[in-house]
Structure formats: structure tokens, C-alpha cells
């Protein structure tokens, strides 16, 4: 991106693709600043100064030549795209380049995507589109083909832990655990800090120990509890998925530092084959949830399935 600007060959459209919470929007704003910084050419460093009026306005999202398109409800709608396109035939007001940032580009309504495509096919000078997505395959293929794609990877666990320590004030041990839960996403790390998320982890890691010896009535009660609030099921499935991954890794002798819940790994170690079966049960429950299968039914299938995996694959 720096090289493209330095050669004065900046593409009119960019697709930033990668997991949520890894800094796509932050990099997009930094790119917008670098393209428009009034002082950069006078500086010895390569990036925007971050201090001039233009840089500050882009950082705050209030520059007159900066537009953000976000979902209105479930989708970005054609009326939003059309309204944005109206001013593109005019020169930028104050910036070198007008920036149009499209968040959740994979959530554009089909009509909106086609309207955007027409603009990308015949781009007006000095307009730059930056599309952000965590699901690039869901972006219209013809739009993807007209964008320079920049891939973002999940952040390293140590990087997330350092951020949690510096920005959220966590002690290093807790930060490392939360970073493992977050899966390389700062957004997921923040979500994992909530009291409700902590309660879910404590409760369902405890269930891992309980399941092998639980009586049928207790299993049915757990299934009823799991299925009672559909909105909480995804978070519970995430905890179980990470826990079974830990159980499998511990079963083959992986160092505890590589486990997600290393401070809480009192649940059973498992043979890899049984852990895989448990993970398949979790994925089936996740898929059933997306297909609006009755929550109680999928919960019973999950509880009894992972119990069998725990019994069959336990390492003494």
C-alpha cells in the first residue's frame, strides 16, 4: 500500500479481508491518513504525521471527504449506496483523495452490491473505496475482482495478551488465558472480559468434569439449561470447543502453556479420536442452531454426545 502510493499508482478500490477484531478498520484509517496527510512529504518518516488537522479529522471519522457505509439493519441497502455515490463526481473538498469506507462489505444487499459495482467499473478520479469484511467469499465476486485485496491474519496470542495487559489492565496470567479464548481477535478479547462470559466459562468447564458420572436426570437438566436461552448457546459452544481442544492436546502431552484454559485444565484428558468426536458434536449443534432446529433437541444431542466421548476417550 505504501509502495502503491509512493509510485502514485493507488488503486481506486481495496478489500481488507480477515477475522473480526484484528485491526482492519484501524489500518484503513491509517491508510486514509497517509494518502491525505498535509505534512507527510515534509517528514522524514514514511507514514502520516497523525497530528495535522487532516490526520486528526480522519482519525475521528469527521473529515468532509470521509464517508462510512454501515449496515442499516441486516444489510447495506441500495438507497445508502446511491446517496453516497451522488457526490463522487465532484472533486474532494479538502483532501487529496476522498475515502469511502464500507464496513461489513459482505452484508450488502444484492441491489446495493450491483450499484456499487457500476461505480467500481467506471471510477471517478480521486475516490478510493476501502471495503472491510471477515467473509470475503460472501462479497460479490465481480466486486472482489475489481479490488486490491489485503489479507489480515488472526493476531498472535502474545500480542493480544500484551494488549490486554497494557490497555485493559489485566495481570499477565489472566491476559494470556483471555487471549487464548479470543482466537487472535481484540474484539473477541473484549467480549470475553464481561462478567457473563466469565460465568459461562466457569459453569461449563465444570460441566466437563461432571458429565462422565452424571445420572440421566442430571444430563436432561443440563440439556434443558443449555437450550433455555438460544442467545447464549453460541458462547457455550465456543467454551466447549476450546475445552475439548485443550483436552485433546493435553492427552498427547502438549505443554500446558499452549492450552487455552491452562489455569483451569482440571477436566479429563482425552484420546484424540474421542476429542474429535466431541468436536464434531459441537459443530453439529452449531449447524443445527443456524438452521433453527429446536434448541432443546440439539442440546440433548450435544450433552449425550460429548458425555460418550468423555467416557470412551478418557486417559487415566
**Phi, then psi, of 124 in degrees rounded to 5:** -80, 150
CATH number reported for the structural domain that contains residue 61 in this entry: 3.40.50.300
Residue 303 lies in a domain: yes
Q: Do 139 and 8 fall within a single domain? A: yes
Q: Are 18 and 152 in contact (CB under 8 A)?
A: yes
Better-predicted residue by pLDDT, 302 or 5: 302
pTM score, two decimals? 0.73
Q: What's the confidence (pLDDT) of residue 133?
A: 97
Q: Do 207 and 297 fall within a single domain? A: yes
Residue 65 lies in a domain: yes
Q: Do 136 and 216 fall within a single domain? A: no
Q: 3-state SS string over 38-87?
A: CCHHHCCCCCCCCCCHHHHHHHHCCCCCEEEECCECCEECHHHHHHHHHH
Question: Does 267 score more than 70 pLDDT?
Answer: no
Task: Quick: pLDDT tens for 215-242.
Answer: 999 999 999 999 999 999 999 999 999 9
Asked which of 122, 151, 180 is the last residue of a domain, the reply is 151
d(CA 212, CA 216): 11
- pLDDT over 90, % of the chain: 64
Q: Do 143 and 6 fall within a single domain? A: yes
- Region 13-37 average pLDDT: 94
Better-predicted residue by pLDDT, 8 or 48: 48
Residue 164 lies in a domain: no
Question: Does 308 score more than 80 pLDDT?
Answer: yes
Asked which of 117, 151, 185 is the last residue of a domain, the reply is 151
d(CA 101, CA 131): 6
Residue 305 lies in a domain: yes
Q: Do 298 and 221 fall within a single domain? A: yes
Q: Do 16 and 137 fall within a single domain? A: yes
Question: Does 87 score more than 90 pLDDT?
Answer: no
Question: Does 7 score more than 60 pLDDT?
Answer: no
Torsion of Cα atoms, 181 then 186 then 188 then 192, to 10°: 60
Q: What's the confidence (pLDDT) of residue 287?
A: 92
Strand order in the sheet with 13-17: 66-69, 98-102, 127-133, 13-17, 148-151
CA atoms within 13 A on the CB side of 213: 5
Residue 269 lies in a domain: yes
Distances (CA, A) of 4 to 17, 35, 100, 148, 153: 19, 10, 18, 11, 21
Asked which of 151, 178, 205 is the last residue of a domain, the reply is 151
The tally of domains found in the chain comes to 2
Q: Are 91 and 126 in contact (CB under 8 A)?
A: yes
The helices-and-strands tally (H runs, E runs) of the chain is 14, 5
Q: Do 38 and 103 fall within a single domain? A: yes
Domain extent, residue 76, equals 2-151
Q: What's the confidence (pLDDT) of residue 249?
A: 86
Q: Do 226 and 303 fall within a single domain? A: yes
Residue 261 lies in a domain: yes
2 pLDDT band, cuts 50/70/90, is: low
Task: Quick: pLDDT tens for 270-294.
Answer: 888 998 999 999 999 999 998 889 9
- Region 184-208 average pLDDT: 89
Q: What's the confidence (pLDDT) of residue 248?
A: 86
Q: Do 262 and 127 fall within a single domain? A: no
Round the average pLDDT of the chain to a whole number and report it.
Answer: 89
Q: Do 100 and 49 fall within a single domain? A: yes
Task: Quick: pLDDT tens for 141-182.
Answer: 999 999 999 999 999 999 999 999 999 999 998 898 899 889
Distances (CA, A) of 214 to 155, 211, 269, 314: 39, 5, 18, 15
Q: Do 128 and 212 fall within a single domain? A: no
Beta strands in the chain (DSSP E): 13-17, 66-69, 98-102, 127-133, 148-151
Better-predicted residue by pLDDT, 27 or 39: 27
- Region 191-205 average pLDDT: 88
124 pLDDT band, cuts 50/70/90, is: confident
Question: Phi/psi class of residue 123: alpha, beta or left (left: φ > 0; alpha: ψ in -120 to 50)?
Answer: beta
299 pLDDT band, cuts 50/70/90, is: very high
Q: What's the confidence (pLDDT) of residue 316?
A: 63
Residue 295 lies in a domain: yes
Question: Does 8 score more than 80 pLDDT?
Answer: no
CATH number reported for the structural domain that contains residue 261 in this entry: 1.20.272
Q: What's the confidence (pLDDT) of residue 10?
A: 86
Q: Do 136 and 208 fall within a single domain? A: no
Question: Does 261 score more than 90 pLDDT?
Answer: no
256 pLDDT band, cuts 50/70/90, is: confident
Burial 142-178 (b: 16+ CB within 10 A, else e): ebbebbeebebebbebeebbbbbbeeeebeeeebbbb
Q: What's the confidence (pLDDT) of residue 65?
A: 96
Query: Which cell numbers in the block locate residue 312?
Result: 470412551
Amino acid at each position: 500500500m505504501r509502495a502503491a502510493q509512493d509510485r502514485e499508482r493507488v488503486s481506486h478500490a481495496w478489500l481488507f479481508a480477515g477475522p473480526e477484531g484484528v485491526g482492519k478498520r484501524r489500518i484503513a484509517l491509517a491508510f486514509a491518513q497517509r494518502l491525505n496527510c498535509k505534512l507527510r512529504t515534509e517528514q522524514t518518516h514514511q507514514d502520516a504525521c497523525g497530528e495535522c488537522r487532516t490526520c486528526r479529522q480522519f482519525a475521528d471519522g469527521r473529515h468532509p471527504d470521509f464517508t462510512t457505509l454501515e449496515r442499516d439493519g441486516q444489510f447495506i441497502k441500495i438507497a445508502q449506496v446511491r446517496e453516497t455515490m451522488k457526490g463522487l463526481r465532484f472533486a474532494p473538498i479538502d483532501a487529496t483523495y476522498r475515502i469511502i469506507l464500507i464496513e461489513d462489505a459482505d452484508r450488502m444487499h444484492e441491489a446495493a452490491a450491483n450499484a456499487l459495482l457500476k461505480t467500481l467499473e467506471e471510477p471517478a478520479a480521486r475516490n478510493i473505496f476501502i471495503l472491510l469484511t471477515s467473509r470475503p467469499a460472501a462479497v460479490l465476486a465481480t466486486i472482489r475482482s475489481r479490488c486490491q485485496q489485503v489479507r489480515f491474519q488472526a493476531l498472535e496470542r502474545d500480542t493480544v495478551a500484551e494488549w490486554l495487559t497494557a490497555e485493559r489492565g489485566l495481570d499477565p496470567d489472566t491476559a494470556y488465558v483471555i487471549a487464548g479464548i479470543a482466537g487472535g481477535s481484540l474484539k473477541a478479547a473484549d467480549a470475553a472480559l464481561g462478567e457473563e462470559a466469565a460465568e459461562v466459562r466457569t459453569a461449563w468447564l465444570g460441566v466437563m468434569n461432571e458429565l462422565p458420572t452424571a445420572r440421566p436426570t442430571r444430563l436432561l437438566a443440563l440439556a434443558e439449561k443449555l437450550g433455555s436461552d438460544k442467545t447464549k448457546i453460541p458462547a457455550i459452544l465456543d467454551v466447549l470447543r476450546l475445552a475439548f481442544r485443550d483436552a485433546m492436546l493435553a492427552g498427547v502431552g502438549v505443554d500446558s502453556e499452549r492450552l487455552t484454559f491452562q489455569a483451569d485444565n482440571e477436566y479429563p484428558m482425552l484420546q484424540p479420536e474421542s476429542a474429535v468426536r466431541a468436536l464434531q458434536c459441537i459443530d453439529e449443534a452449531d449447524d443445527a442452531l443456524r438452521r433453527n432446529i429446536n434448541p432443546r433437541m440439539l442440546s440433548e444431542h450435544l450433552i449425550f454426545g460429548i458425555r460418550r466421548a468423555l467416557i470412551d476417550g478418557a486417559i487415566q
